[in-house]
């Protein structure tokens, strides 16, 4: 049994599936409309849609002819909440880099002595 | 060739690897220290570490005996930036749900007429 977050991340770990989500972020679309910009065969698109559907990232309407797909953003909130727990880690790192750059600018000797050494 | 974001998401799509990152979020740790709480064999932990390392999510020190692992948060920022593009989607949805709940509370007839119909 796979946990929801792992299922979501697996579904997102493909550039075509992320592009499909980006398209659906602009509004509902049929499978044909989703397939067009990717130059993919319909069965390939259908496979990607199934992975997204199993992860709860999209739903598909029930009307047989159109069955438009729509984005469901709730699983993305879980990803956001998870990654947010690490925000201080990369912010701290950028602060350190910034501090080092400032040091370089105010005292060019820092970089020169590094290059010389 | 896989794009960086897909590599990162694949690496994150495993609960043990996320637990390893959570541990490293508290500070450096050796492979032995990482293996202990998971009741995993060392080769299994090593495999997970290799996936994390290839994704640039951890680095390992060079001193042969200890080789402590440390978290590298930069790829997580890319995940955060990507998922942030969908924030308005789930916030909108929660606003709609909230609006509906408020409607129910101010006019209980809404839910009753739904149940009756």
Q: Could you read off the pLDDT of B54-73 as tens digits, one per residue?
A: 999 999 987 766 789 999 99
Chain A CB contacts of B18 below 8 Å: 5, 82
Q: Which residue has 């990369």 as its token pair? A: A90
**Complex ipTM more than 0.90, yes or no:** no
Residue B39 has pLDDT above 50, yes or no: yes
Stronger pLDDT, A25 or A112, i.e. the higher one: A25
Q: Which of B58, B79, B81 to probe the A interface (max A CBs under 10 A)? A: B79
Q: Answer whether B25 touches A (CB < 8 Å).
A: yes
The backbone region for B2, taken as left when phi is positive above 0, alpha when psi lies in -120 to 50, beta otherwise, is beta
Q: Is the pLDDT of residue A55 over 90?
A: yes
Q: What percent of chain A has pLDDT over 70?
A: 88
Q: How far is Cα A47 from Cα A31, in angstroms, rounded to an integer?
A: 11
Average pLDDT, chain A: 88
Q: Which residue has the higher pLDDT, B109 or A60?
A: A60
Q: Indicate which of B10, B28, B86, B94 best probes the interface with A, i.e. most A CBs within 10 Å of its own CB.
A: B86
Higher pLDDT, A63 or A112: A63
Given a cut of 70, whether residue B102 has pLDDT beyond it is: yes
- Band the pLDDT of B112: cuts 50, 70, 90: low
The winner for highest mean pLDDT among A31-40, B15-24, B30-39 is B15-24
Q: Sign of the C-alpha dihedral, residues B65, A97, A99, B23?
A: negative
Q: What is the C-alpha separation between B42 and B35, in angstroms, rounded? A: 6
pLDDT > 80? residue B111:
no
Residue B40 exposed, middle or buried by CB count within 10 Å (0-12, 13-18, 19+): middle
pLDDT at A113 over 80: no
**What's the average model confidence in pLDDT over A33-55?**
92
Does the pLDDT at position A39 exceed 90? no
Q: B89 at the A interface (CB within 8 A)?
A: yes
Higher pLDDT: A72 or B106? It is A72
């Amino acid at each position: 049994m796979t946990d929801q977050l792992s299922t979501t991340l697996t579904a997102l770990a493909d550039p075509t599936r992320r592009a499909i989500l980006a398209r659906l972020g602009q509004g509902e679309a049929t499978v044909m409309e989703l397939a067009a910009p990717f130059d993919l065969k319909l069965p390939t698109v259908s496979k990607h849609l199934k992975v997204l559907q199993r992860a709860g990232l999209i739903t598909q309407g029930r009307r047989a002819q159109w069955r438009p797909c729509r984005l469901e953003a709730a699983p993305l909130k879980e990803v956001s909440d998870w990654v947010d727990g690490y925000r201080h880690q990369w912010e701290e790192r950028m602060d350190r880099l910034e501090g080092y750059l400032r040091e370089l600018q105010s005292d060019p000797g820092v970089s020169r002595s590094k290059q010389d050494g």
